[in-house]
Amino acid sequence: MWDYTDRVMDHFHSPRNVGRIDEPDGVGHVGSLACGDALTLMFKLGADGRISEAKFQTFGCASAIASSSVLTEMMLGMTVDEAEKITNQEIAARLGGLPEQKMHCSVMGREALEAAIHNYRTGEPGVAKSHEGHERIVCQCFGVSEGEILRVARENNLSSVEQVTHYCKAGGACGKCRDDIGALLRQVMDERQPAAPTAAKPLTNLQKIRLIEEVIERDIRPLLLRDGGDLELVDVVGDRVVIAFRGLCAGCASASLTREGVVQAKLREFVSPELVVVEEKA
């Protein structure tokens, strides 16, 4: 079995925002039955220009369903311009990570989102760019274009053909295009040479704080409430997260265990492994 995180399994078992929207503002379709996974993503804008409704239908494995589900949660409340900036790494990160062989599920989510935004802006059908046909298709089996391969390699800092296959499926069937993919990969790695290799784009402070708040709300507070406790986010200074315990947690003998084992562990899992959680000094 795959080593899926609890969040992947949660979204798989209880997918959010399943279905279709009547008169959507944007619709994106990617994948196919033949490829083994497919996603239809729809959204509708509210009067304030923010995404007020997002729905999906997915044919695919547990991680494909979870990636689609979490994506709809992420989109809600965003403007189209904000949603457009969602990366596949962010989708995977919100799930607490995906096995590398399953990263293509997060890429499928990002592609469907872009396709839906394209449909919203132009009125043209929302299909993934790689399937439009005016780009060179490198992987015939899965219909993956040169542009898509270059993009996942750049955005995810990939360095092997195998990784490219894990992220966008290219090269995963007959294997005839693997040399081609290798050449594209060398091109991307040459571009990378001057700068030191960097990992995924770091979150801005604002994004970080928002994410911390969300994780507290969704993953931490319910646990504390169950035991009659609560907590408050006081401040975020760099990677230092200052909190204050409330209710039964305040003054509880095992509060420091809760701080490290629950609050810090969850925030490290879902926001950033660098975070250090401290309690506010009275």
Partner 1 sequence: MSRTVYLDNNATTAVAPEVLEAMLPFFCDQYGNPSSMHSFGGQVGRAVENARASVAGLLGADPSEIIFTSCGSEADNHAILGAVEAMGPQTVVITSRVEHPAVLEPCRILRERGHKVLPIGVDGVGQLDLQELAAALMEPGPKFVSIMWANNETGVVFPLQEVARMVKAADGVLHTDAVQAIGKLDVDLSRLPVDLLALSGHKIHAPKGVGALYVRRGTRLNSFLHGGHQERGRRAGTENVPGIVGLGAAAALAREELGAESRRQAELRDRLEEGLLRTCPDTRINGDRRQRLPNTTNISFEFIEGEAILYHLSDAGVCASSGSACTSGTLEPSHVIRAMGVPFTAVHGSIRFSLSRYNTAADIDRVLEVMPGIVNKLRALSPFVK
Spell out the residues 6+ positions from residue 25 whose beta carbon is closer than 8 angstroms to its own. 43, 44, 45, 120
Active site residue 139: no
Q: Phi, psi (5° rounding) for residue 133?
A: 105, -10
Set 61, 105, 177, 252: catalytic member: 105
Active site residue 252: no
Query: Using the rule CB under 8 A, is 65 a contact of partner 1?
Result: yes
Query: Using the rule CB under 8 A, is 29 a contact of partner 1?
Result: yes
Q: In the complex, what is the shortest distance from the CB of residue 77 to partner 1, in angstroms, rounded to a whole number?
A: 23
Among residues 28, 51, 54, 64, the one that binds partner 1 under rule CB under 8 A: 64
Q: Phi, psi (5° rounding) for residue 126?
A: -90, 85
Q: Cβ–Cβ contacts within 10 Å for residue 185, how many?
A: 19
Query: Using the rule CB under 8 A, is 67 a contact of partner 1?
Result: no
Which residue lies nearer to partner 1 by CB, 91 or 224? 91
Stretch near partner 1 under the rule CB under 8 A, chosen from 84-92, 120-128, 165-173, 223-231: 165-173
Stretch near partner 1 under the rule CB under 8 A, chosen from 5-13, 194-202, 222-230, 266-274: 5-13
From residue 249, alpha-carbon distances to 217, 226, 235, 241, 281 in Å are: 16, 11, 19, 17, 15
Q: What is the DSSP letter of 201?
A: P
Among residues 24, 39, 71, 98, the one that binds partner 1 under rule CB under 8 A: 39
Q: Cβ–Cβ contacts within 10 Å for residue 226, how many?
A: 8
**Gap between the Cα atoms of 55 and 41, Å rounded:** 6
The 193-232 site mask, x for binding partner 1 (CB under 8 A), equals: ----------------------------------------
Which residue lies nearer to partner 1 by CB, 14 or 193? 14
Instruction: Name beta bridge partners: 27.
Output: 42
Crossing angle of helices 146-155 and 178-192, rounded to 10°: 40
Q: In the complex, what is the shortest distance from the CB of residue 10 to partner 1, in angstroms, rounded to a whole number?
A: 12
Query: Using the rule CB under 8 A, is 282 a contact of partner 1?
Result: no
Lay out the sheet containing 26-32: strands in order across: 26-32, 37-45, 51-59
Catalytic residues: 35, 105
Which chain residues interact with partner 1 by CB under 8 A?
Answer: 1, 9, 12-13, 15, 18, 29, 33-34, 36-40, 57-62, 64-65, 141-142, 165, 169, 172-173
